[in-house]
Structure 1
Amino acid sequence: MTDSPARERILRTATALFISTGIRVVGVDRLIAESGVARATFFRHFPTKDDLVVAFLESQAADARRELTRIRSERPGGARALLAEIATGAKMGMECTGFRGCEFINTAAEYSDPDHITRVVVDRHRAWVRDIMVDALEELGHPTPFATAEVLFTMRTGAIVASSLEGFHDPDGAFDRAWWALVDQS
């Protein structure tokens, strides 16, 4: 279905609510009311709530892919700049009051069935991020790019979750030292 102002309004409303409060806690009636659309309009654009969740995740993933691809291609030292941006994103919650974490991690927590369509979208995006990290490490001549990308991605996930749940802070820069020690292995 083509984009329409109503569809965009529904998606924009859902994005704000899903990020600020979670997915399962937000009902269709609330989405309809806060989007200011008729029930029929909502279901014409999103036959099920899962369809809306998938559209939300795909939109978020597309934004992330555009930004990371842009950073890699436009910044000096593109591969290293990409890895720096991912590290910075992992630490974002350390500086934000009320940080709720990554929408992909949160969605995976809310939808535990690995075959559920939302989890398929989450897993596909997370694999893309890991793979772009592998590519960056290969470009830097890293001896074990895949294994290292897996560890870096785990560090990233852990920092985000710890920031959202426990208020993790890194005042002495241990996260950065560990991140760059892994990146700079030769």
Structure 2
Amino acid sequence: MATATDLFISIGIRSVGVDRLIAESSVARATFFRHFPTKDDLVVAFLETQASDARRRLTLIRDQGPGGARAVLGEIAAGAKAGMDRTGFRGCEFINTAAEYCDPEHPVRVVVDRHRAWVRDIMADALSDLGHPDPDGTAEVLFTLRTGAVVASSLEGFRDSGGAFDRAWWGLVDQR
């Protein structure tokens, strides 16, 4: 799983073949296929692990007490900006995977869509906790802003040196 995670994040899912995964992880072919009958099974496991880690981290932040709702939104904003300071940033594994797996019924895409919906939901819950007048609509806009920032920083080198992302993000969060 560690080898798959490194390769999927650094090069992409479709461009990494099973033979390379087996060779670089130093596992026997039979062992690989015993755990993951298909490459898609490995991709699902990879995404489920990534999603579980994110859910655990954001839930812990939310449950930290007063300020937890705002801290969740801050963590999501920070995640959107993480690539702005990294050379060679390839973007979010869920956004990238959604681009590689377009069929909404495909098991891999189902995991992607379920995780992205969960992130929107925790943002809406946080906005609701803050007394926001339109938590669901604003969560959708924030999620779109986040997605755009990640894609722009990975494809176009967006760096936001003027702080426009933060002004837009917190302006939406703090509207009354």
TM above 0.5, one fold? yes
Match of 1:17 among 7, 24, 41: 7
Report the counterpart of residue 153 of structure 2 in structure 1.
163
Match of 2:20 among 18, 24, 30: 30
Aligned equivalent of 2:132, options 142, 152, 174: 142
- TM-score in terms of structure 1 length: 0.93
Amino acid at match of 1:86: I
Q: 1:75 to 1:95 in 2, by over 3 A?
A: farther
Q: CA deviation at 1:75?
A: 6.0
**Matched residue type, 2:159:** H
CA-to-partner distance for each residue in 1:124-172, whole Å, 9 max, x for gaps?
0000000000000000000100000000000000000000000001111
Say which of 54, 58, 82 aligns to 2:72: 82
Listed as ranges, the gaps of 5+ residues in structure 1 are: 1-10
Measured in 2, the distance between the counterparts of 1:45 and 1:53 equals 12
Root-mean-square deviation (Å) = 0.7
Q: Deviation string for 1:85-130 (max 9, x for gaps)?
A: 1001101110011100000000000011111111100000000000
Specify the SS of the correspondent of 1:74. Answer: coil
Any unmatched runs of 5+ in structure 2? none
> How far does the alpha carbon of each residue in 1:20-70 deviate from its partner, in whole angstroms, 9 at most, with x for none?
000000000000001101110000000000000000000000000011111
Residue 72 of structure 1: CA displacement?
Answer: 1.2
State the match for 1:178 in structure 2. Answer: 168
Q: TM-score, normalised by structure 2?
A: 0.98
Find the counterpart in structure 2 of residue 50 from structure 1: 40
Q: 1:122 aligns with which of 108, 112, 134?
A: 112
Aligned-pair distance for 1:76? 4.4
Which residue pairs with 2:92 in the alignment? 102
Counterpart Cα distance in 2 of 1:21 and 1:31? 12
In the alignment, which residue of structure 2 is the partner of 1:68? 58
Matching residue's letter, 2:87: T
Q: Which amino acid counterpart does residue 155 of structure 1 have in structure 2?
A: L
Distance in 2 of aligned mates of 1:85 and 1:61: 15
Whether the 8 Å CA contact 1:75–1:81 is kept in 2: the answer is: no
Look up the SS of the partner of 1:120 in the other structure: helix
Measure, in 1, the Cα distance between the counterparts of 2:66 and 2:99: 36
SS at match of 1:13: helix
Moved over 6 A (4+): none
The sequence identity of aligned pairs, in percent, is 80
